[in-house]
Amino acid sequence: MRALILSLACVLSLSAQESPLPKPTAHHLALKEQAGTWIAVAKMYMDPSKPPVVSKGTEINTLVSGGLWLKSEMRAEMMGQTFEGHGLFGYDTHQNAHVGSWVDNGGTWMAVSKGTCTKDCREMTLFFDGYDEAGKPLTFKEVHTQPDHDHRFAAMFVKGKDGAFVKLMEMEYTRAK
């Protein structure tokens, strides 16, 4: 309800000032490359002494709000269970940063990420705080690359006690044809 009231107040404020809605920047336009349906293969490094656990799924990304945001919907089979995740990603011109939010059925907390991009936003690094299974706070890093129109890669790392980041997961995405 609060979000609806804030949204309405923003629209009314914009209308009263007769200012135009924001136009997508180059950072927003780069999100177009991620729009579409993707086949995902995840490798999760649960135990360093064992091979990674491999899961497969589908991610559907849709541009929303005039191309300012990318809505992401993920469904996969992970360790014999259905995984479902939802995200919203974009570029905040006030913070000069890529920002995002992610929730899934693997936890009760929301990941709120912030980061930068390079190479025409084909490489992006995001950081967010979260928790382990026992509720202990952790810092995560995600690195995303998109070498071409039909392929994307992502890796997630967790910050260890020594300050070094350790890889938890890698994802390989191929655009569905």
pLDDT in tens, 42-54: 999 988 889 999 9
Q: DSSP E strands: which ranges in the chain? A: 36-44, 53-64, 69-78, 81-92, 97-104, 111-118, 123-131, 137-148, 151-159, 165-175
Minimum mean pLDDT range among 1-5, 36-40, 127-131, 145-149: 1-5
Q: Say yes or no to pLDDT of 15 above 60.
A: no
Q: How do the domains of the chain map onto residue ranges?
A: 22-175
> pLDDT at position 114, please?
98
Homologous superfamily (CATH) of 22-175 is Calycin beta-barrel core domain (2.40.128.20)
> pLDDT at position 35, please?
97
Taking only the tens place, the pLDDT of each residue in 103-133 is: 999 999 999 999 999 999 999 999 999 998 8
